[in-house]
């Protein structure tokens, strides 16, 4: 009987002021939470494969770096255009570091960096360059394509919107 009553009240509620207030609070909270804190995003493109597949789904957790700074190997969302178009990339070098690619191997300050998340290394060659102050250097995990066809490089830390929830 009690279950039936709960079912009835859930699907056929009585529109009392208290009920409307609860619904309004829930709607505003959901808008704020999913609009600014935990933003749902569809993943398009293969630049982060195999970790993040084309056609996948995730959330941008914008509080991820509220209490800690960016670290190497962190996967981050970078605001590309407008509030909802973002790039999903991996941080490979931090400000002040010198980054380069030699025959597909990543070198930071002249030392080779292990990248266990990479399936196909490719043969990228990129002369050394220093990451500017307030910037991080980001690259996709998929290095199959030619270096000229890949979208990567340094970006202001301020453009990092957060990290994927999983």
| Residue ranges in contact with other proteins by CB under 8 A | 78-83, 85, 87, 89, 126, 129, 138, 151-155, 159
Query: Which residue in 45, 46, 42 sits closest to 56, CA to CA?
Result: 42
Rounded to whole angstroms, how far apart are CA atoms 121 and 162? 26
CB of 155 to other proteins, least distance (A): 5
CB of 49 to other proteins, least distance (A): 18
CB of 8 to other proteins, least distance (A): 43
Instruction: Give how far the C-alpha of residue 70 lies from the chain's centroid of Cα atoms, to the nearest Å.
Output: 12
Nearer to other proteins, 25 or 42 (CB): 42
Rounded to whole angstroms, how far apart are CA atoms 106 and 113? 6
What is the four-CA torsion angle of 144, 145, 148, 154, rounded to 10 degrees?
A: -50
CB of 4 to other proteins, least distance (A): 48
Nearer to other proteins, 89 or 143 (CB): 89
Nearer to other proteins, 41 or 138 (CB): 138
Nearer to other proteins, 5 or 149 (CB): 149
């Amino acid at each position: 009987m009690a279950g039936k009553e709960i079912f009835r009240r859930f699907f056929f509620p009585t529109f009392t002021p208290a009920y409307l207030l609860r619904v309004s609070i829930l709607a505003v909270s959901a808008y704020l939470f999913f609009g600014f804190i935990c933003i749902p995003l569809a993943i398009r493109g293969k630049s982060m494969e195999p970790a993040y597949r084309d056609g996948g789904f995730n959330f941008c957790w914008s509080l991820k770096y509220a209490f800690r700074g960016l670290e190497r190997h962190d996967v981050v969302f970078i605001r590309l255009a407008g509030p909802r178009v973002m790039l999903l990339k991996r941080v490979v070098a931090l400000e002040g570091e010198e980054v380069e690619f030699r025959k597909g191997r990543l070198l930071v300050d002249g030392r080779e960096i292990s990248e266990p998340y990479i399936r196909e290394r490719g043969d990228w060659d990129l002369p050394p360059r220093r990451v500017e102050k307030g910037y991080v250097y980001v690259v996709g995990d998929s290095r199959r394509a030619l270096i000229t066809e890949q979208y990567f490089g340094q970006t202001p830390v301020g453009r990092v919107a957060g990290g994927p929830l999983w």
